[in-house]
Structure 1
Amino acid sequence: MIHKYDVTIRIMRESDFPYMAKWLNDDLVIEYYGPRLTLEQVIAKYGPRISDEHYVMPCIVEYKEESIGYIQYYKVPKEQLKIYCYPLKEPIYGIDQFIGKSDLWGKGIGTRMISALLEYLYFRIGINTVVLDVKSTNLQAIKCYQKCGFRVVKELEDTSLLMEWELFQELKK
């Protein structure tokens, strides 16, 4: 699907469920991306996504041909747009992601994978605005998102921050 730098982003497959279960049981990963999920819970949650029965597009991130993380994108549902205070008629996409191998954190891989996905969303789908929410305590992720062009636009009720990437904001720089 996407190959840029030394990162590949591909559609998730059933064979990826064990990776997800492993990553979603790593204490460092679930501190920021929780909750902890068993293999059966991973299958129940992500199975409909890979079967195209859900609005979220699930993807696996590979680095140097090894599966290392997860990234997903989706058109933000209208109910969520209302909470975020966005106009309902604009196509706004959301992304969520994590690197499941914590020994690879802090090496710039997150920045590369998010930048590659943002390029894909803009050039292939025509999306100008992308949002994500992040725990306010996840300073490493916030720094990564800022490097990718996201800015904090709102504090959310659950000690998370809403961050936004907007193409036109990027062009002004």
Structure 2
Amino acid sequence: MLFQNGHLKVRKLEVQDIYILSKWLSDPSVLEFYEGRDNPFDIGKVNRVFYNSEDETVKCIVEFDGKEIGYIQYYKLDSDTKNVYGYLNENIFGIDQFIGEVEYWNKGIGTLLVTSMVEFLINHKKVDRIVMDPQVCNERALRCYEKCGFKKVKLLPKRELHEGEYRDCWLIEYINSN
């Protein structure tokens, strides 16, 4: 287990999680906001994308009350990404997440998840900043991240290919003030 905060638990991805990831990433409700409805994942694609041993991203499953409900990952930003975003030599991590069980949406669990991950990264990775780049049109996610202390920094035009078109994203950041 990576960490637990009340009913929320985050643990590293395991081999048997391939099936739940495939379920979530073939659900049009989830894909509307993560990867795109035109980009469903079968078992083979989940294996290629999430189980690449050369990837330094730490991939995790989110549980709530003992039920797997979502996914979160974190990674240290490389030099090229820092340059694109306009950062210097700080310790900067990125995170990405989704709640795959739609009945758990709009219950404050996303806010709990993101604030818990921020706390984990500050305490265990000594981060200076945490960044994300959600699509401008993902208003629910942006409200969640702003509640967690993230601020919009820069508009990233045509940053992400989603459902056949390049979409604008916001670079948002959380600055460790400790």
Normalising to structure 2: TM-score of the pair?
0.89
What's 2:72 paired with? 71
> RMSD between aligned alpha carbons?
1.1
SS in 2 for 1:95: strand
Q: Which amino acid aligns with 2:136?
A: S
2: CA distance, partners of 1:156 / 1:80: 13
Moved over 4 A (4+): none
Identity of aligned residues (%): 35
1: CA distance, partners of 2:66 / 2:7: 8
The count of corresponding residues between Structure 1 and Structure 2 is 165
Between Structure 1 and Structure 2, which shows a larger proportion of helix residues?
1
Corresponding position: 1:163 with 2:172:
yes
* Kept after mapping to 2: 8 A contact 1:130/1:166: yes
Deviations 1:37-91 (A, max 9, x none): 111010111112xx4x21100000000000000000000111111111111x211
Normalising to structure 1: TM-score of the pair?
0.92
Corresponding position: 1:47 with 2:56:
no
SS in 1 for 2:68: strand
What's 2:5 paired with? 4
Per the TM alignment, residue 8 of structure 1 is displaced from its structure 2 partner at its CA by: 0.3
Per the TM alignment, residue 5 of structure 1 is displaced from its structure 2 partner at its CA by: 2.2
Deviations 1:113-165 (A, max 9, x none): 11111111011111121000101111110000001100100110221111100
* Unmatched segments (≥5 aa) in structure 2: 159-167
SS in 2 for 1:135: coil
* Kept after mapping to 2: 8 A contact 1:5/1:112: no
Q: Which amino acid aligns with 2:110?
A: G
Q: How does 1:51-130 map to 2 (within 5 A)?
A: 51=53, 53-87=54-88, 89-130=89-130
Q: Which amino acid aligns with 2:99?
A: I
